[in-house]
């Protein structure tokens, strides 16, 4: 994979210590460990605030997880575009029907290591259901799903257990959502109620 903040020599160690200090200053804790597999889709839930990306980045640095996230192409343009890509963003053009699931599966097939973060709600706004793209990405690439979370109530973020898709999406979604039942986003009124 390309050079990011998570694999830049020397700087990754500096970012680790800065991230530990930031978590301490904000009163947060990172809970792990990172999954011991080279490739997986990580759910980022609940996703209710712009602050989520900030906390995901610093928790990933503390847990030493090199993450990638799909992001609107327009976000990676302009004066901060290079920085946003360096933080692990992969630009996508949402205006086109570009088979995002297929493209992500291809990324998994092309790389020996890859952690792709996907917010199943798809938005910070109130949602009534999760999008299932993350499930089809993991199933199609034959990789597990890592249950990543940010609990603003307890000020803990990290990774829960790995979940291996069985092919029965309805049953699997029930099991996955059970993990998130007591986790509160920054704006819990906007997260799906399990």
Closest CA to 155 of 24, 9, 21: 24
What's residue 97's pLDDT? 56
**Helix, coil or strand: residue 181:** coil
Closest CA to 133 of 94, 160, 76, 159: 94
**Helix, coil or strand: residue 118:** strand
Q: Structural domain boundaries of the chain?
A: 11-190
pLDDT for residue 187 is more than 80: no
CA–CA distance, 66 with 32 (Å, rounded to integer): 14
What's residue 85's pLDDT? 86
pLDDT tens-place string over residues 154-183: 999 999 999 999 999 999 999 998 998 899
Confidence class for position 131, pLDDT limits 50, 70, 90? confident
- Cis link prior to 33 (omega < 30° from 0)? yes
What's residue 7's pLDDT? 86
* Reported pTM: 0.85
CA–CA distance, 108 with 141 (Å, rounded to integer): 6
Confidence class for position 16, pLDDT limits 50, 70, 90? very high
What's residue 98's pLDDT? 59
pLDDT for residue 126 is more than 60: no
pLDDT tens-place string over residues 36-87: 999 999 998 888 888 888 899 899 999 999 999 877 788 888 888 888 888 8
Beta pairing, strands 68-72 & 39-45:
unpaired
CA–CA distance, 136 with 71 (Å, rounded to integer): 18
Closest CA to 176 of 118, 108, 90, 107: 118
CA–CA distance, 187 with 154 (Å, rounded to integer): 13
pLDDT for residue 19 is more than 90: yes
Average pLDDT, integer, range 100-113 = 88
Confidence class for position 139, pLDDT limits 50, 70, 90? very high
What's residue 128's pLDDT? 58
Query: How large is the greatest C-alpha to C-alpha distance in the chain, in angstroms?
Result: 45
CA–CA distance, 165 with 36 (Å, rounded to integer): 17
Q: Could you give the strand order of the β-sheet that contains 68-72, starting from the edge strand earlier in sequence?
A: 29-31, 156-163, 145-151, 39-45, 114-118, 68-72, 89-92
DSSP code of 188? Answer: G
DSSP code of 33? Answer: P
Average pLDDT, integer, range 87-111 = 79
């Amino acid at each position: 994979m390309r050079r990011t903040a998570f694999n830049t020599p020397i700087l990754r160690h500096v970012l680790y210590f800065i991230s530990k200090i930031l978590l301490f200053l904000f009163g947060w804790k990172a809970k792990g460990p990172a999954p011991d597999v080279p490739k997986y889709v990580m759910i980022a839930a609940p996703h209710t605030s712009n602050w989520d990306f900030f906390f995901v980045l610093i928790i990933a640095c503390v847990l030493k997880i090199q993450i990638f996230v799909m992001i609107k192409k327009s976000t990676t343009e302009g004066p901060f575009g290079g920085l946003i890509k360096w933080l692990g963003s992969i630009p996508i053009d949402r205006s086109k029907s570009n088979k995002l699931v297929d493209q992500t599966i291809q990324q998994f097939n092309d790389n020996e290591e890859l952690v792709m973060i996907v917010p199943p709600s798809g938005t910070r706004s109130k949602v009534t259901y999760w999008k299932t793209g993350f499930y089809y990405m993991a199933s199609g690439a034959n990789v597990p799903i890592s249950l990543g979370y940010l609990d603003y109530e307890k000020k803990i973020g990290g990774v829960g257990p790995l979940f291996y898709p069985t092919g029965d999406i309805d049953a699997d979604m029930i099991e996955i959502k059970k993990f998130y039942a007591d986790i509160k986003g920054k704006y819990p009124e906007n997260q799906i109620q399990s």
